[in-house]
Amino acid sequence: MIAYDGSDPARAAIEAAATLFDSRRALVVTVWEEGLAYAVADFEPGGAGLSPIPVDIEGSQEMADELREQAQRTAAKGAELATAAGIECEALAVAGETRAADALVQVARKRGVAAIVVGSRGLSGLRARLEGSTSSAVLKHAPCPVVVVHED
């Protein structure tokens, strides 16, 4: 399984997977945040207030649909890159309820994958603590070996 979000480290992960697992079939997975559209719809630009904020359900649904479609396009692009690198693969966009790492680990368990290949941006210090590290969380919880590919 190759985690793909369209970033340079994710492209490097595809290249590494092609080198390491050239004869294996792969699953290229993109995770999108299902609740993000509703969280954005609840955002009040003037700051948090005590009164309830009306939620535009129709607008939120449209945004959720767009996020899902974008994730599907991203996964398809990753699969195209993998195919061009010589990997027979399938694209999969997955809705994540929490962190991307949790969704990746769930897919790995459900699909019984042999390994997970994930790119790493190499965050450190405060930024790593605030944003979290998908690759570190996958390493910690994955049910299989994990290959972490660092961007050159």
In this model, does residue 127 exceed pLDDT 60? Answer: no
Q: For residues 41 and 58, is the Cβ–Cβ distance under 8 A?
A: no
Q: Which residue has the tokens 């690759």?
A: 135
Cα angle, residue 148 at apex, residues 145 and 99 outer, rounded to 5°: 85
Q: What's the domain range around 146?
A: 2-150
Decide: helix, strand or coil at residue 117.
Answer: strand
How does pLDDT run across 22-75, given as a tens digit for each residue?
Answer: 778 999 999 988 765 445 444 444 444 444 555 556 666 788 888 889 999 999
User: How far apart are the two ends of the chain, measured CA to CA in Å?
Assistant: 21
How does pLDDT run across 73-125, given as a tens digit for each residue?
Answer: 999 999 999 999 999 999 999 988 778 899 999 999 999 999 999 998 765 55
How many domains does the chain divide into? 1
Half-sphere exposure of 113 (CA within 13 A, CB side): 27
Q: For position 107, which CATH number holds?
A: 3.40.50.620
pTM: 0.79
